Amino acid sequence: MKAYLILEDGTVFTGKSIGSTKEIISEIVFNTSMTGYLEVLTDPSYAGQAVVMTYPLIGNYGICYEDMESAKPWPDGYIVRELSRMPSNFRCEGTIQEFLEKHDIPGIAGIDTRALTKILREKGTMNGMITTCEYEDLSEVLPKIAAYNTGKVVEKVTCTEKYVLEGNGPKVALLDLGAKRNIARNLNRRGCEVTVYPALTTAEEIIASNPDGIMLSNGPGDPKECTSIIEEIRKLYNTDIPIFAICLGHQLMALATGADTHKMKYGHRGGNHPVKDLQTGRVYISSQNHGYVVDTDKLDPSVAVPAFVNVNDGTNEGLSYTGKNIFTVQFHPEACPGPLDSGYLFDRFMKMMEVSE
């Protein structure tokens, strides 16, 4: 069956329908990872977005359910150049086509994803529609496409109630803003007892549990939409509890302490982004998934200073908070998919908790 991707600027791509045949409007973003498509599909940070995979062949090793980063996939749609018809891997438990159908996610294959990515890079991230209907008059759908907004998606992806991953080491409170499973796994692997809290949990409840450290997770959407969560994070900042934040958590801590964020032209999504540690001068290859960034021009050095910078475009990739046991990063040290170069940051967090005891 034919499918169409209609961008809000009127560009139309024609390909083949994959997955569900329902019609969706979403924000179209691209990911440059060469592998790890299942981890991408199950990353809650993609809620409210449709993902374009720039790597030309997707699905060649099938679906391995153990690799899922959450209980279900989150993107509204999926766009690929070629979908593998015959996956081959000893861990394969199904095809990506079956996976998309099962979770009612529409997609499109057989389009020039390189041309699509160039449009998104040159014009910036834009909304689009995936549909099996052939619209002769785009004027009836373009206003609807342009009007789409991801809205408050953190509440959609967070856990519904708190739960605990048992451990014999430090007690860590993980605020689930759309957390990938591997964040809790990395802490648990280091012996931590991890209590995962829903995103709208009050600071008072977290503080009352007397944690040795607090982790703020990744998550989807515009950080400025999270007004009530920002207020609670400000209260956490005012404690002496060590805090480590990733991605959206990094942005929310910045907003909670008076800094600003803005939307990037097309964001960073993939497993090959170089970041420089400003303290050591060492460069690490990182996994990233974000469309917003902290504006360091409006950063008060008495509150926080840049700790990491993106080598490609100079945008901020991390902050160290002055006089506080707090550091935050924009990239994903837990990777999945991606390199494990920056996994040492979890060890830094462990040492912070040891010192504060």
Query: Binding site for L-glutamine: which residues?
Result: 45, 219, 221, 248, 251, 289, 291-292
DSSP secondary structure letter of residue 199 = T
List Cβ<8 Å contacts ≥24 apart for 223-226. 223/248, 223/251, 223/252, 223/255, 223/261, 223/292, 224/255, 224/261, 225/151, 225/152, 225/154, 226/152, 226/154, 226/177, 226/199, 226/252
Query: Which residue ranges are tagged as binding site?
Result: 45, 219, 221, 248, 251, 289, 291-292
Whether 92 is a known active-site residue: answer: no
Whether 334 is a known active-site residue: answer: yes
Q: How far apart are CA 2 and CA 239, in angstroms?
A: 56
Which stretches does DSSP call E strand in 91-192? 106-109, 126-131, 163-165, 171-176
Would you say how long the chain is, in residues?
357
Residue among 8, 226, 334, 336 flagged as catalytic: 334
- Report in angstroms the alpha-carbon separations of 298 from 243, 266, 316: 22, 22, 12
Nearest to 203, CA basis, from 173, 160, 223, 244: 173
Q: Which two tokens stand for residue 9?
A: 């600027």
Residue among 247, 268, 273, 317 flagged as catalytic: 247
- For residue 49, give the 3-state DSSP assignment: strand
Whether 64 is a known active-site residue: answer: no
Residue among 250, 273, 290, 332 flagged as catalytic: 332
Residues pairing with 164 in the sheet: 195
- Report strand pairing: 316-321 vs 326-329: antiparallel
**CA triple 42-43-48, angle to 5 deg:** 100
CB–CB of 230/256 below 8 Å? yes
- Compute, in degrees rounded to 10, the torsion defined by CA atoms 147, 148, 154, 156: 120
Q: Which two tokens stand for residue 320?
A: 């160290």
**Residues annotated as part of the active site:** 247, 332, 334
